[in-house]
Amino acid sequence: MQTLKIALTIAAALFLQLLLSKFLVAARYVDLALLVTVYISLQRAPVKGMLTGLAAGLGGDIVIGGILGVGGFSNTLIGYIISLASVRFSLENRLARLGAVALASIANTLLFVGLYLMLEQNRIAEQVLPLAHNWAQLGRTVGYKALADTLTALVLFIILDRVFYEETTARRMAIKRRFYE
């Protein structure tokens, strides 16, 4: 049942990403698939975080465009790292979760651009990463993406907490037992 919820959440995120990016310019800076990956990765299950990142990243590559596999690799890596961090540290606090989102957004953007450059793609597609033609624009884009992802995560994580209510409750109880008792 949880796998179905995750798959439907990824599909809804990709659909909204495609729909919103056509009508809102600011929505091009938000990566909903990454936010779903970070949310699922915060549930303290590295394999689930990796598989969610893989599905969300490959889905994003297919829907948004670009080189197939670059988004899948970067989201898989981000999902694994966030999952490991959530096992080691208590990331249940909202501020810690938002910090994890900001760091994941920065790492994902830099990894994405690095993979494009490593694969010798001189032009990063405008629909994939807007305004990243030189280092100054890349810095601004990284900042805008981190800010947009973090602000979107404020709302999205509240919605996903309601969708994944059972998992959220179980995770909070496990963290209480481990860190506070």
How many residues are present in the chain? Answer: 181
Inter-residue contact 58 to 71 (CB < 8 Å): yes
The whole-angstrom distance between residue 162's C-alpha and the CA centroid of its chain comes to 18
The model's pLDDT over 79-124, given as tens digits with 9 standing for 90+, comes to 999 999 988 887 888 899 999 999 999 999 989 888 877 876 655 5
Domains of the chain by residue range: 2-180
What are the structure tokens assigned to 143, written together? 């900042």
The model's pLDDT over 29-64, given as tens digits with 9 standing for 90+, comes to 899 999 999 999 998 888 999 999 999 999 999 988
Domain 2-180 has CATH 2.60.40.10: no
Let me know the angle formed at the C-alpha of 144 by 138 and 145, rounded to the nearest 5 degrees.
Answer: 85
Closest by Cα among 82, 101, 33, 29 to 62 = 33
Model confidence, pTM = 0.87
Compute φ and ψ for 89, nearest 5 degrees: -120, 155
